Structure 1
Amino acid sequence: MSNLNPNTKRETFSSGLAVFFATLGSAVGLGNIWKFPYLVGINGGGAFILVYLICVALVGMPVAISEFYIGRRARTNPIQAFEKLKASSFWKIIGYLGVLTSLFVMLFYSSVAGWVYLYTFKAIKGDFTNIASLPIKEAGIFVSNEFNIAVNGTLSPMLWQLIVIAIVSIIIFAGVKKGIEKVTKTLMPVLLVLIILCAIRALTLEGAKEGINFLFSMDFSAITPSVILSALGLAFFKLSIGMGTMMTYASYFTDDNNMPVTSARVALSDTGISMLAGLAIFPVVFTFGLEPGSGRGLLFNTIPLVFSKIPFGNVLLAAFFFLASIAATTAMTSMFAVPVSVLTESLNMKKGKAVLLTGGVIIFIGILTVHPSSLLGNITILSLNFFDLFDYISSNIFMPIGGLLIAIFVGYFVAKDDLINELSNQGKLNMAIYLKLFRLILRYVTPILLIIIFLNSVGLLKL
């Protein structure tokens, strides 16, 4: 049963600032804390950042603005949106893909978020304070064992995944203004302050210069076709697009929100937070002679070891993982909102039941599949365990296809005047030249680049 009553009052964000923090909270995730700075460092430093920003302009922002258009214009969930826009029923596939993608991502992302929550709790308790007194080898064994327990434990990883889902469920149940808006307006500034403090402390260390060089050296010789493809994919995935989140949040935008400017602010702020994370991490890495390419292992295996050897290290360690938990929570909240909006608006389900059903599905499947100690944790499909399989399908198949369909729909099946009127707030914003350029890129550049991203992601294109 549809819930398309035009007289139904739909909740909206209270201001442009609330919109900015909510959409930024959706874009900022655990990838900002490690993956982005690491890719910058190994792919040409500042040169990679320049390429990345170009890719954001050509792929990330056009798709984000397109999602904003669909969401605010329709004022409903990603599936019903195309019915409201009087589009062919075929285009509902975008909404279904968005729901599936957000669910698939949450299945494994909530597990990783649980590890971060656990490490925040352990740091606050002082579980890592004894590391400073241990010899390096014994300290390394200690933190390695702690991580193995966090990941491979029989009950602990499942319990912390449940806690993550419970907290996100409470935020969603509280609503747009009292839940999503209040949390993101509070936590995003806290995240920014914490990451700045960690960066300032890291820049006082001996390895600060080497860490800065790792991030910002302009090595254009490192920019190869494969690096450009990496920047393209990162620009697309980092902005949380192609999975219904931006479309869902945009359905709560105010009528006077400048959507093109919002997309630009989110893209630049997301990049800035990622670089601050790099400034907080890599000076520490080089000071203590750690391996900058150790990926996820650095975050959980070596960061406790490193901070234990710095004055007030346990405080900074707790702050670091609390920062990471904020990023995980705000990103999870935006994904969780997608299936809940569909259940409440398409099936007229009460919000409480929709939240419980969504959370229940994630927990049930997660407990059965994504943990090494899960009942199905050791089963592999195409040489991938379920954790990696959910990641691969959502990131390499669903998201690029969803983004491509969004670009084609808005670029070719939305009337030019309707698009420009909506994005210019019925002509109140003077940006005619920009919107014409945006539509040109959306029609002729973005789809080609998204096809390249998809072919590269599934291994059909190797440059």
Structure 2
Amino acid sequence: MENKGKKEGFSSSLGVFFATLSGAIGLGNIWKFPYVTGANGGAAFILIYFIFVLLLGIPLMLSEFYIGRSTKRNPFGSIGAIEESNYHNFKFNFLNKIRKSGIFKLIGWLGVTTAAFIMFYYSAVAGWVYEYLFKAIKGDFSPLKNLTGEEAVKFTSDTFNNSVNGTYTPMIWQLVVLIVVSIVLVAGVKNGIEKVTKVLMPLFLLLILLCDIRSLTLSKAGEGLSFLFTPDFSKVTAGTLLTALGLAFFKLALAMGILIVYSNYYKKDTNLMGNSVKVAISDTVISLMAGVAIFPVVFEFGISPSSGPSLLFKSIPLAFAQLPFGNGLLAIFFLLTAIAATTAMISLVEAPVRMFMEEFNMSRIKSVGITSTIIFIIGAITVHPKSIFGAVLIGNKNFFDLFGFLTDNVMMPFAALLTAIFIGYFIKKDSFKQELTNYGQLNKNVKYLPYLRVCLRYIIPILITVIFLNSIGVFN
């Protein structure tokens, strides 16, 4: 177990990769990216998405890697730990005053706060997934095999509503999620996060592959694959570009403190550029594999493709239950979904855990206990419909929606904008180059520096501004 006086690290490059990938993988890979891809032009959308990943995702990932590995500090204290020699000394003194004002410390503060806000509602959703896994194992979806039409739809809708709107059950499952995550985090970085993600990520891939193989044997597999992959540039509109841009930003665990924390644990010889590219590509491939598992089944039974909770908790049980051995397949599917939710939660919780350990000199076990307790209490009394504040509306939003709105539309874009400006303008080029090349050990990475500088200084501020304006409805 890691104590407050010792900083652990990942023991291998494979551990680095799986842990970082686990921060990017989440429910969005299953219930959002595949549908959005199919609905917006298939392969055409994937191409556009990758362009935005290159322009925005990878440069921001590397910026957070720089902050985390160079300082070995939690997001909250990382900016203040950067040595003075790494900064530009501007001729215009007001720029030096801006940097010294402490505004860029908001990068870490917003990251930790964003992680906390997301956990308040994400832990509840993860609880729904755990409950559905339990139901699938028990065979609670077996009646669907004998139901058709409106009866089947009503069964899945009632099941979901009962799970979400229960008085105590949603909170119990939320607590179960946090207990599982806490057990992993108490074990530390090497013996907890790394060991668990090195097991769960390959298992996750194996389970998706099993579901893919089964889906590809269905008679409507061609329709599902066509929906997902056929390039259709006629569907590419301004809205498609905005959707691809938003996904490139939100899908890679940017601006949540996760990447700063995990890069704390990177060794000096970790190839930051190589790791960022591998994570970005793997995250996309996994999303598409999830689509291959889902949409042939959905089309097989004439269910309209959808996204979000409706896809995961209604359409998928409805479709999978009709297959031979459907209960077993449904259990496998919700197991892989539970893995995605769990690894995402591990990454999110670690950000404030590390902050408590370093800023308040706490042991890991105490930090994990305090963090998980705060998440559970605030989440339990706000995000569930029948909780104390579940019916409270602020600006026509309940707390579940409000937490999501603040993180997605305000906090994350602002933190990302500050990060791009900070690394692009205020950090010396040579300082960034040293981390990118592992102090001269990976000189092949020098060739990427001009591209990264252009993106951070000019392209990303524009793209983040577009994301923000789109989020507040300017382009609607």
TM-score (norm 2): 0.94
Tell whether 2:463 aligns with 1:449.
yes
Give, in angstroms, the shift of residue 277 of structure 1.
0.5
Aligned to 1:431: 445
Match of 1:19 among 16, 20, 28: 16
Tell whether 2:211 aligns with 1:198.
yes
Give, in angstroms, the shift of residue 452 of structure 1.
1.1
> In structure 2, how many angstroms separate the alpha carbons of the residues matched to 1:303 and 1:228?
28
Tell whether 2:198 aligns with 1:185.
yes
Aligned residues: 456
Aligned to 2:89: none
Aligned to 1:329: 342
Match of 2:317 among 277, 283, 304: 304
Q: How does 1:223-372 map to 2 (within 5 A)?
A: 223-293=236-306, 295-372=308-385
> In structure 2, how many angstroms separate the alpha carbons of the residues matched to 1:260 and 1:193?
27
Tell whether 2:76 aligns with 1:62.
no
Question: Does the aligned pair in 2 maintain the 1:108–1:366 contact within 8 Å?
Answer: yes
Give, in angstroms, the shift of residue 440 of structure 1.
2.0
Letter in 2 for 1:63: L
Compare 324-333 and 297-306 and name the one that shifted more: 297-306
Question: Does the aligned pair in 1 maintain the 2:65–2:260 contact within 8 Å?
Answer: yes
Aligned to 1:121: 134
Letter in 2 for 1:113: A
Match of 1:46 among 43, 68, 83: 43
For residues 218-273 of structure 1, what are the alpha-carbon distances to aligned partners after superposition, in whole Å with 9 as ceiling and x for unaligned? 11121112211111111010001011100110010011000011000000000000
> In structure 1, how many angstroms separate the alpha carbons of the residues matched to 2:275 and 2:475?
34
Q: How does 1:352-431 map to 2 (within 5 A)?
A: 352-429=365-442, 430-431=444-445
For residues 115-149 of structure 1, what are the alpha-carbon distances to aligned partners after superposition, in whole Å with 9 as ceiling and x for unaligned? 00001111111111232133443333222211111
> In structure 2, how many angstroms separate the alpha carbons of the residues matched to 1:328 and 1:375?
25
Question: Does the aligned pair in 2 maintain the 1:397–1:458 contact within 8 Å?
Answer: no
Letter in 2 for 1:241: L
> In structure 1, how many angstroms separate the alpha carbons of the residues matched to 2:399 and 2:7?
38
Give, in angstroms, the shift of residue 435 of structure 1.
2.0
For 2:108, what is the secondary structure of its paired residue? helix
For 1:451, what is the secondary structure of its paired residue? helix
Question: Does the aligned pair in 2 maintain the 1:102–1:336 contact within 8 Å?
Answer: yes
Give, in angstroms, the shift of residue 41 of structure 1.
1.0
> In structure 2, how many angstroms separate the alpha carbons of the residues matched to 1:101 and 1:411?
23
Percentage identity across aligned positions?
54
Give, in angstroms, the shift of residue 298 of structure 1.
2.1
For 1:309, what is the secondary structure of its paired residue? coil
Tell whether 2:80 aligns with 1:83.
yes
Letter in 2 for 1:18: G
Q: How does 1:148-167 map to 2 (within 5 A)?
A: 148-167=161-180
Aligned to 1:96: 109
Question: Does the aligned pair in 1 maintain the 2:110–2:256 contact within 8 Å?
Answer: yes
For 2:7, what is the secondary structure of its paired residue? coil
Give, in angstroms, the shift of residue 99 of structure 1.
0.9
Judged with a 3 Å threshold, the aligned counterparts in structure 2 of structure 1 residues 212 and 77 are, in CA distance, closer, same or farther, namely: same
Question: Does the aligned pair in 1 maintain the 2:164–2:384 contact within 8 Å?
Answer: yes
Aligned to 1:73: 70
Compare 443-452 and 266-275 and name the one that shifted more: 443-452
For 1:281, what is the secondary structure of its paired residue? helix
Compare 81-90 and 187-196 and name the one that shifted more: 81-90
Give, in angstroms, the shift of residue 367 of structure 1.
1.1
> In structure 1, how many angstroms separate the alpha carbons of the residues matched to 2:176 and 2:291?
28
Question: Does the aligned pair in 2 maintain the 1:105–1:390 contact within 8 Å?
Answer: yes
Aligned to 2:90: none
- Aligned-CA RMSD value: 1.3
Judged with a 3 Å threshold, the aligned counterparts in structure 2 of structure 1 residues 99 and 295 are, in CA distance, closer, same or farther, namely: closer
**Any stretches of 5+ residues in structure 2 without a counterpart?**
85-99
Letter in 2 for 1:434: Y
Give, in angstroms, the shift of residue 446 of structure 1.
1.3
Judged with a 3 Å threshold, the aligned counterparts in structure 2 of structure 1 residues 362 and 280 are, in CA distance, closer, same or farther, namely: same
Aligned to 2:93: none
Letter in 1 for 2:446: A
Give, in angstroms, the shift of residue 398 of structure 1.
0.6
Judged with a 3 Å threshold, the aligned counterparts in structure 2 of structure 1 residues 239 and 219 are, in CA distance, closer, same or farther, namely: same
Aligned to 1:213: 226
> In structure 2, how many angstroms separate the alpha carbons of the residues matched to 1:236 and 1:295?
18
Question: Does the aligned pair in 1 maintain the 2:32–2:307 contact within 8 Å?
Answer: no
Aligned to 1:176: 189
> In structure 1, how many angstroms separate the alpha carbons of the residues matched to 2:437 and 2:307?
46
Give, in angstroms, the shift of residue 110 of structure 1.
0.6
Question: Does the aligned pair in 1 maintain the 2:273–2:445 contact within 8 Å?
Answer: no
TM-score (norm 1): 0.96
Question: Does the aligned pair in 1 maintain the 2:35–2:307 contact within 8 Å?
Answer: no
Compare 223-232 and 320-329 and name the one that shifted more: 223-232
